[in-house]
């Protein structure tokens, strides 16, 4: 009986510990949202006056609009380009057995674990040596060095569960290459493609170390936040921080709803 009790206590402790760590993970983000609604210029706790004026200012500000569009354009381009390239990359990663594949799998993963700030600086050196002026376009390129491998990896998970027999059957029935791609390969791989796209967008949207050195005169939201945190603090920091988090959450929600809708459509359509 004693060991039963012991086991229960250990179990309870682990549950409590896990919940504590989860709280630890979300506490800073809650603090940012809370700070964005305070009235004082400098954050104090407990908060005694709430206000939404920093949100009003953020929505009116033209420079905030610029920051938003830069971040959005970078993330959108990174998503589209990464998904297209990673589609082929994932097929090479998981679908085909070829000489050199093991080597390729490892090379693909290298950039993911590489120190991003150093990669950003190396790219800065690279661009200026090639005579390319850095702007948000070069940031798209820089983000992709890190994000393309991640998207490839995510899509590969889907590709592993893909049975090539479906493609072969379609070919046997006289389908063309394009038809097979459109009717068989893409639909089966679509969950992987969607999750890859979601990750690509959000990782680019929030990226800081690569943007810092490769956007030139342009600025993304995470860069702006960093510059204001380090010097010249303004109460707009928690507000814009909350807005970017809200944007990410909204994006995730929309992606989730799209996946649900597609699933429902497919289920309703007789094959």
Phi-psi region of 131 (alpha: psi -120 to 50; beta: other; left: phi over 0): left
- CA separation, residue 263 to residues 25, 154, 188, 257 (Å): 32, 20, 12, 10
Classify 49 as helix, strand or coil.
Answer: coil
Figure out which of the listed residues 58, 70, 79, 89 binds other proteins, where binding follows CB under 8 A. Answer: 89
Is the C-alpha dihedral spanning 121, 126, 130, 132 positive or negative?
negative
Q: Which is nearer to other proteins, 32 or 175 (CB)?
A: 32
Taking CB under 8 A as the rule, does residue 8 contact other proteins?
no
Taking CB under 8 A as the rule, does residue 124 contact other proteins?
yes
- CA separation, residue 59 to residues 18, 54, 66, 185, 191 (Å): 38, 9, 11, 43, 35
Q: Which is nearer to other proteins, 52 or 164 (CB)?
A: 164
Taking CB under 8 A as the rule, does residue 196 contact other proteins?
no
Figure out which of the listed residues 65, 69, 133, 160 binds other proteins, where binding follows CB under 8 A. Answer: 160
212/231 Cα distance (integer angstroms): 15
Figure out which of the listed residues 8, 11, 41, 263 binds other proteins, where binding follows CB under 8 A. Answer: 11
Figure out which of the listed residues 9, 13, 254, 261 binds other proteins, where binding follows CB under 8 A. Answer: 13
Within 13 Å of residue 126, how many CA atoms lie on the same side as its CB?
Answer: 12
Window 98-117: residues binding other proteins (CB under 8 A): 98-102, 104-111, 113-117
Site string for other proteins, 26-65 (x = CB under 8 A): xxxxxxx-xx-------xxxx-------------------
Window 200-239: residues binding other proteins (CB under 8 A): 202-203, 205-209, 213, 221-222, 225-226, 229-230, 237-238
Contact 40, 53 (CB under 8 A): no
Cα 120 → chain centroid: 18
Figure out which of the listed residues 25, 62, 178, 267 binds other proteins, where binding follows CB under 8 A. Answer: 25
Figure out which of the listed residues 92, 175, 181, 188 binds other proteins, where binding follows CB under 8 A. Answer: 92
- CA separation, residue 84 to residues 78, 114, 187, 192, 226 (Å): 10, 23, 15, 12, 31
CB of 241 to other proteins, least distance (A): 4
């Amino acid at each position: 009986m004693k060991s039963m009790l012991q086991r229960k206590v250990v179990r309870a402790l682990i549950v409590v510990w896990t919940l504590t760590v989860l709280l630890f993970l979300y506490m800073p983000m809650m603090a940012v949202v809370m700070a964005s609604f305070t009235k004082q210029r400098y954050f104090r706790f407990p908060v005694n006056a709430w206000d939404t004026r920093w949100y009003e200012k953020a929505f009116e500000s033209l420079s905030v609009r610029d920051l938003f569009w830069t971040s959005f354009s970078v993330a959108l381009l990174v998503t589209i380009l990464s998904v297209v390239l990673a589609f082929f990359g994932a097929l090479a990663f998981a679908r085909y057995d070829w000489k050199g594949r093991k080597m390729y799998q490892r090379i693909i993963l290298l950039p993911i674990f590489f120190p991003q700030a150093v990669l950003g600086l190396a790219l800065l050196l690279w661009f200026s040596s090639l005579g390319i002026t850095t702007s948000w376009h070069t940031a798209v390129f820089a983000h992709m060095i890190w994000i393309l491998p991640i998207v490839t990896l995510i899509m590969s998970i889907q590709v592993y569960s893909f049975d090539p027999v479906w493609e072969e059957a379609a070919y046997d029935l006289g389908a063309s290459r394009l038809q097979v791609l459109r009717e068989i390969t893409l639909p089966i791989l679509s969950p992987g493609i969607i999750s890859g796209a979601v990750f690509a967008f959000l990782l680019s949207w929030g990226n800081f170390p690569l943007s810092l050195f490769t956007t030139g005169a342009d600025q993304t939201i995470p860069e702006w936040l960093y510059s204001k945190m380090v010097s010249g603090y303004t109460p707009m920091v928690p507000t814009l921080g909350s807005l970017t988090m809200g944007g990410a959450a909204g994006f995730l929600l929309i992606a989730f709803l799209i996946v649900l809708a597609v699933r429902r459509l497919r289920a309703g359509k007789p094959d």
